Amino acid sequence: MEIAGKDALVTGGASGLGLATVQALTERGARVVTLDLPSSDGERVAQELEGGVSFVSGDVRSEADVERALEAAGDLRILVNCAGIGPGARIVGREGPMPLAEFQRVIDINLVGTFNVLRLAAHRMAQLEPANDERGVIINTASVAAYEGQVGQAAYSASKGGIVALTITAARDLADHLIRVCTIAPGTFDTPLLARPRRALPARSGAGDPPPQAIRAAPGVRRSGLPRHRQPDAERRDDPAGRCPPDGSPLDRDLQATGDPRGSRRLIGTPGDPPVLLRATSGSAASWQRTKRSAVRSQHRTAAT
Cβ partners under 8 Å of residue 14, min gap 6? 34, 36, 37, 40, 41, 42, 45, 55
50-74 burial: b if 16+ Cβ within 10 Å, else e: eebbebbbbbbeeeebbebbbebbe
Give the Cα separation of 122 and 281 in Å (integer). 42
Give the Cα separation of 218 and 198 in Å (integer). 13
Q: What are phi and psi of 29, to 5 degrees?
A: 90, 15
Query: Out of 26, 36, 58, 156, which one is annotated catalytic?
Result: 156
147 given a catalytic annotation? no
Chain Cα centroid distance, residue 72: 31
Task: Give the 3-state DSSP-derived string for 201-241, with helices as H, strands as E and coil as C.
Answer: CCCCCCCCCCCHHHHHHCCCCCCCCCCHHHCCHHHHHHCCC
**Closest of 268, 265, 264, 256 to residue 292, by C-alpha:** 268
Give the Cα separation of 278 and 53 in Å (integer). 49
Q: List residues with catalytic annotation.
A: 156
